């Protein structure tokens, strides 16, 4: 893994604004009820916009990099990356030895009618557990993730995701976490095993943020 120095903050801000607009577009697409002719017209507009963006393309999304304030960020990440339209994006904060993030799912995350797809909840927990392990100095790859779905997860509601590192054994470390309502009802909980690949530095210099 290489971590590059950041350049072009203004351009990155513009990229993040574009990604946020694409998220709005995805929600609007999921919910729209406009007539067919309007759907066709908007599709033509978007086809043109897509071609304009593809006029110059990178080989991969935004990499891990140091922000101007010295923090480590990954704008291309599918969960936390503000430059990745797929991301919520989740803003993960350290809370002592644990991590937390406010979560508000979108209609485009629908699985069963009216609630969030289980794979989306698992993805959020995978990431948060991974960050908890990293925050404890055991950054690694997910080797296994066990998810227990206790109650349907609504979209549109303010929810909380939390995770903490629980133990480590050599390159292996474990974390657990949950997605809860604001009043503390657990909707989904997970435990995960994270393994630091032998080629990675054993401990990252700073806990990753976001």
Ligand X SMILES: CCCCCCCCCCCCCC(=O)SCCNC(=O)CCNC(=O)[C@H](O)C(C)(C)COP(=O)(O)OP(=O)(O)OC[C@H]1O[C@@H](n2cnc3c(N)ncnc32)[C@H](O)[C@@H]1OP(=O)(O)O
Q: Which residues bind ligand X (CB under 6 A)?
A: 126-127, 130-131, 134, 139, 141-144, 170-172, 193, 195, 197-198, 204, 208
At its nearest, how many Å lie between ligand X and the CB of residue 85? 18
CB closer to ligand X out of 47 and 71: 71
Q: Which among 63, 209, 199 has a CA at the least distance from the CA of 132?
A: 209
Cα–Cα nearest to 188, from 100, 124, 94, 140: 124
Contact yes or no for 9/66 (Cβ under 8 A): no
Q: How far apart are CA 175 and CA 101, in angstroms?
A: 16
- Classify burial at 54, counting beta carbons within 10 Å of its beta carbon; exposed 0-12, middle 13-18, buried 19 or more: exposed
Q: Which is nearer to ligand X, 12 or 193 (CB)?
A: 193
For ligand X, the closer CB: 75 or 139 = 139
The residue with its CB nearest to ligand X is: 130
Least distance (Å) between residue 204 CB and ligand X: 4
Least Cβ distance, residue 119 to ligand X (angstroms): 13
In the β-sheet with 72-74, what is the strand arrangement from edge to edge?
4-5, 64-66, 72-74
Minimal distance in Å, beta carbon 166 to ligand X?
A: 15
Closer CB to ligand X, 42 or 195, in the complex: 195
């Amino acid at each position: 893994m290489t971590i590059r120095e950041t350049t072009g903050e203004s351009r990155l801000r513009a990229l993040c604004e574009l990604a946020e607009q694409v998220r709005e577009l995805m929600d609007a697409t999921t919910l729209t009820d406009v007539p067919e002719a309007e759907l066709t017209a908007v599709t033509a507009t978007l086809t043109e916009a897509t071609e304009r963006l593809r006029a110059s393309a990178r080989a991969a999304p935004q990499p891990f990099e140091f922000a101007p304030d010295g923090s480590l960020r990954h704008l291309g990440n599918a969960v936390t990356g503000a430059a990745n339209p797929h991301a919520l994006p989740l803003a993960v904060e350290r809370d002592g030895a644990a991590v937390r993030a406010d979560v508000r799912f979108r209609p485009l995350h629908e699985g069963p009618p009216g609630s969030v797809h289980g794979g989306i909840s698992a993805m959020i927990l995978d990431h948060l557990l991974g960050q908890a392990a990293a925050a404890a100095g055991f950054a690694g790859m997910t080797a296994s993730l066990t998810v227990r779905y206790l109650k349907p997860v609504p979209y549109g509601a303010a929810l909380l995701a939390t995770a903490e590192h629980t133990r480590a054994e050599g390159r292996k470390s474990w974390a657990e976490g949950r997605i809860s309502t604001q009043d503390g009802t657990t909707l989904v909980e997970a435990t995960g095993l994270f393994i630091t690949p032998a080629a990675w530095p054993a401990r990252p210099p700073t806990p990753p943020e976001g």
